[in-house]
Homo-oligomer: A and B are copies of this chain.
Amino acid sequence: MNSGIVENLINELSRLPGIGRKTAQRLSFFIIGMPKEDAVSIANAIIAIKENARFCRNCFNITEDETCSICLASRDKSKICVVEEPSNLIVIERTGIYKGLYHVLLGALSPIDGITPERLKINELVQRVKNGGVSEVIIATNPNTKGETTAQYISQILKPLGIKITRIAYGLPIGGDIEFADEVTLSKSLEGRKEM
């Protein structure tokens, strides 16, 4: 018996991941209290992304132009960092330490779910390397089974092309506590030890 538009907004926001009914309610009443132009600009940002977002024809990052801003920028074009999703790219960008290009696979290999190499942007990666100028491919797929399988596969495909292929390091998370580290991470951390 609540107002239709409020109930509707709560329902719509509840579709989002991690937004339960209570959170959706809290957000809805916050939006009701917001200046109109602020709320409209949130709505417009959602519409803009659906109308204008597409994949960069070069690296498959999300962009509103044919080529994304990273590919167009003055970056180290001899390095390509391979990630599963555009969201992974953002996280790496935020570290500020990587100055090369990216290649987004748009997924990870998972034959059980029908995700075979042809479903990912692997051929496009091979083509970029074949076009020349690339000296290193850094594989930054996720540190889990699918990501590891994908990394192995790409590594084998690229090896004949004679470039350096690296995988991001496994280890203990910074700020973590050895006591709470799982055994696999701890083993990887020991294997990957560096001289001080």
Given A4-B69, A45-B5, A69-B1, are A87 and B26 also a contact pair (CB < 8 Å)? yes
Query: Which residues does chain B contribute within 8 Å of A85, judged by CB atoms?
Result: 29
Chain B positions within 8 Å of A41 at CB level: 12
For the complex, what is the distance from the CA of A5 to the CA of B6, rounded to whole Å? 27
A1: B residues at CB distance < 8 A: 69-70, 73, 93
Q: Are B90 and A32 in contact (CB under 8 A)?
A: no
Q: Main SS of chain A's interface residues?
A: helix
CA distance A69 to B36 in the complex (A): 24
Tell me which residues across on chain B come within 8 A of A86, comparing CB atoms. 6, 29, 32
CA distance A61 to B85 in the complex (A): 44
- Residue of B whose beta carbon sits closest to that of A37: B50
Contact between chains at A28 and B5 (CB < 8 Å): no
Give the total of A residues in contact with B, Cβ under 8 Å.
Answer: 56
| Contact A53–B5 (Cβ < 8 Å) | yes
Scan A1-22; emit 1 where CB is below 8 A from any B CB, else 0. Answer: 1111110110111011111000
**Contact at B25–A90, with CB atoms within 8 Å?**
yes
Write out the residue numbers on chain B whose beta carbons fall within 8 Å of the beta carbon of A43: 42-44, 46-47
Q: Nearest B residue to A48 by beta-carbon distance?
A: B5
A21 to chain B minimum Cβ distance, whole angstroms, is: 9
Say whether A108 faces chain B, with CB atoms less than 8 Å apart: no
Residues of chain B within 8 A of A12, CB atoms compared: 41-42, 45-46
Pairwise interchain contact A42-B53, C-beta atoms closer than 8 A: no
- List 22 contacting pairs A-B, 8 Å CB cutoff, sorted by A: A2-B90, A2-B93, A3-B63, A5-B48, A5-B49, A5-B62, A5-B64, A6-B62, A8-B48, A9-B46, A11-B45, A13-B42, A16-B27, A25-B90, A28-B49, A31-B46, A32-B86, A39-B46, A39-B47, A39-B49, A39-B50, A40-B46
